[in-house]
Amino acid sequence: MRCLAACQTELAIRMLDEILLPSFEVEFLVESKPLARRLHDSGLNVTFGDLKRTDTYLKADLTPGTCVVVEDNGRKSLRKVLEAIWDAGGTLVYVLGVGISHTRKREEELKAKFPELNYLALSELFGGPLLTEFSRSLTRLKVQQYQRFFSDADRVLILLHNDPDPDALASGLALRNVLRRNRQTAVIAAFEGVTRPENQRMMNLLDIHVEIMTVEHVNDFDRIAMVDVQPHYFGGEIDRVDLVIDHHPEQSGYTSVYKDIRVDYGSTSTILTEHLRAVDANISERTATAMLYAIKSDTLFFNRQANRVDIEAFSYLYPLADATLIRKMEGAEITMERLDYVLKARQNGRMVEQVFCAFLGATPREDFIPYVADFYLQLENVQWTIISGIVNDTLVMSVRNLGYSRNAGEFVRKYFNEIGSAGGHRAMAKAVVPLRNFKERFGNLQADEYTEKVLALALEFLHEHQTPERKLVKA
Ligand SMILES: [Mn+2]
């Protein structure tokens, strides 16, 4: 492909020459004679001419298939240059902003006159990789500091939150990798073990061992790290901690020698991928598989709170991981026990206006509730699922919706925050209400009355938030 580059600054010209050759046949058009001579002497294909004149481009054999790059360094003459190119029949026109501070405004102004041009800013083209490089150096510094601090310890504790999820498990493995330790010298532990079947399956398939310990044993270790959790979670029981790596909102009221908390990250495994990359660590297939699965599950495969860094970590880990194992771990979500609750919801549930609502009664484990909520959201006609059950005298409610409808978190906060705890995101939310409080507010309801009540609340919420456009569509 041919490329004509109408440029004024030597740096831009030399850079384009380096980038575009040998894929493009490049010819530079410049307005300064001395510059043309200098570039010509160093072997570039340069023509000297007036960039504001159409015949300059005609002489250079501009065709509609020629790619034209025009440097924009803020000069007024740019419009004239673009007009001349248009008149000469140029259609594939790229304006390259060099040292332009308000690029968006500049782009709008130019597009008002030349709607088909493409505007690229040099700072945007190079800024990303440069910033990534710089932040990797900062991460490297941080990681090397805590690596040194942990290096002379005999026994290291990597503590996870209760009932560890894939992100906690994978982060434990990853941190052990960063610290260059094994399961004897760095113990991954939790105060309460894994209960969800798919997480147990992950542990079995990847041979992850989590030691269940009591708080008294914490002080047996020389160094304590926490991943995917912060000390406040343990209610003041742990007063000394050396390292915290987490993506949940930063809590005050504790000190840690080192910490790396990044709330805009979709998972702790994403942070640890950056730690491992920053120090060029070898990542085993087992660790990569665990981390990949963790990123996928913590971000609900990029449905929730995922951003560029998570996708970047995901693509870095993907070739290192075992995709077959991940499929096996995901298959473990279906168990006979869970199907029992799916059936129960089918028998007791009600669906109105694409809202599926069901009450499961007393359930021995909490995870049946979100499982059933996720399950019914897969049905074609379902937009919302609201599934509740009773776990130890507490009403637990899981709410799911397809991300583009109203906010699930707002729904639970509106009706249940005053009598319990409620929160969540746009597409998924949870409420936990002591049964006593629920009865005080809504009365002592029978199972079917309960379903009707919750369904009525949901419809009330959805109707009051209906925008005029949506009503129009429905009408
Ligand atoms: Mn997490």
- Span 249-294, pLDDT tens digits: 888 888 899 999 998 898 999 999 999 999 999 999 999 999 999 9
| Lowest-confidence segment of 73-82, 369-378, 465-474 by average pLDDT | 465-474
Chain-centre distance for alpha carbon 307: 3
Contact 355, 459 (CB under 8 A): yes
Structure tokens, 131: 């910033």
Residue 166 CA to ligand 1 centre (angstroms):
8
Residue 275 CA to ligand 1 centre (angstroms):
16
CA distance 230 to 257: 13
pLDDT in tens, 52-111: 999 999 999 998 889 999 999 888 889 999 999 999 999 899 999 988 888 888 899 899
Residue 410 CA to ligand 1 centre (angstroms):
22
CA distance 237 to 259: 19
More confident residue, 104 or 330: 104
Residue 165 CA to ligand 1 centre (angstroms):
8
Residue 270 CA to ligand 1 centre (angstroms):
9
Q: What pLDDT, on a 0 to 100 scale, did the predictor assign at position 305?
A: 53
Residue 186 CA to ligand 1 centre (angstroms):
20
Residue 319 CA to ligand 1 centre (angstroms):
22
CATH says 2-116 is which class? alpha beta
Residue 164 CA to ligand 1 centre (angstroms):
9
* Residues measured by CB to lie within 5 Å of ligand 1, the ion: 167, 228, 267-268, 298
Say which CATH superfamily domain 132-331 falls into.
inorganic pyrophosphatase (n-terminal core) (3.90.1640.10)
Residue 309 CA to ligand 1 centre (angstroms):
14
DSSP 375-404: HHHTSTT-SEEEEEEEETTEEEEEEEE-TT
pLDDT in tens, 143-176: 999 999 999 999 999 999 999 999 999 999 999 9
Residue 310 CA to ligand 1 centre (angstroms):
12
Residue 229 CA to ligand 1 centre (angstroms):
8
Mean pLDDT (whole number) for 451-457: 93
Strand ranges inside 34-155, DSSP E: 46-48, 67-72, 92-97, 118-121
Residue 361 CA to ligand 1 centre (angstroms):
29
What percent of the chain shows pLDDT beyond 90?
66
pLDDT in tens, 394-447: 999 999 988 667 889 899 999 999 999 898 878 888 999 999 999 999 998 888
Please list the alpha-helical segments (H only) found in 184-303. 197-206, 268-278, 285-298
Q: What pLDDT, on a 0 to 100 scale, did the predictor assign at position 137?
A: 95
**CA dist list (Å): 157 to 229, 275, 374:** 14, 18, 35
Which residues touch 122 (CB under 8 Å, ≥6 apart)? 12, 96, 97, 98, 99
Residue 175 CA to ligand 1 centre (angstroms):
14
Give the model's confidence band at 468: pLDDT under 50 very low, under 70 low, under 90 confident, else very high: low
Q: What is the pTM of this model?
A: 0.69
> HSE on the CB side for 350, CA within 13 Å?
14
Mean pLDDT (whole number) for 12-17: 91
Give the model's confidence band at 471: pLDDT under 50 very low, under 70 low, under 90 confident, else very high: very low
Contact 470, 383 (CB under 8 A): no
CATH says 336-472 is which class? alpha beta
Give the model's confidence band at 299: pLDDT under 50 very low, under 70 low, under 90 confident, else very high: confident
Residue 356 CA to ligand 1 centre (angstroms):
28
Give the model's confidence band at 470: pLDDT under 50 very low, under 70 low, under 90 confident, else very high: very low
- Return mean pLDDT, the chain: 90
Residue 386 CA to ligand 1 centre (angstroms):
24
Residue 135 CA to ligand 1 centre (angstroms):
22
Residue 209 CA to ligand 1 centre (angstroms):
18
Residue 116 CA to ligand 1 centre (angstroms):
44
Residue 31 CA to ligand 1 centre (angstroms):
57
Mean pLDDT (whole number) for 168-188: 97
Residue 247 CA to ligand 1 centre (angstroms):
6
Give the model's confidence band at 472: pLDDT under 50 very low, under 70 low, under 90 confident, else very high: very low
Residue 138 CA to ligand 1 centre (angstroms):
23
Contact 49, 59 (CB under 8 A): yes
Residue 248 CA to ligand 1 centre (angstroms):
7
Residue 267 CA to ligand 1 centre (angstroms):
5
Scan for tokens 């009450």, then name that residue.
359
Residue 333 CA to ligand 1 centre (angstroms):
19
φ, ψ (nearest 5 deg) of residue 381: -90, 5
Which residues touch 289 (CB under 8 Å, ≥6 apart)? 206, 321, 322, 325, 326
Residue 364 CA to ligand 1 centre (angstroms):
25
Does 306 have pLDDT greater than 90? no
What percent of the chain shows pLDDT beyond 70?
95
Q: What pLDDT, on a 0 to 100 scale, did the predictor assign at position 332?
A: 65
Residue 137 CA to ligand 1 centre (angstroms):
24
Residue 342 CA to ligand 1 centre (angstroms):
27
CA distance 434 to 412: 14
Q: Domains of the chain: which residue ranges? A: 2-116, 132-331, 336-472
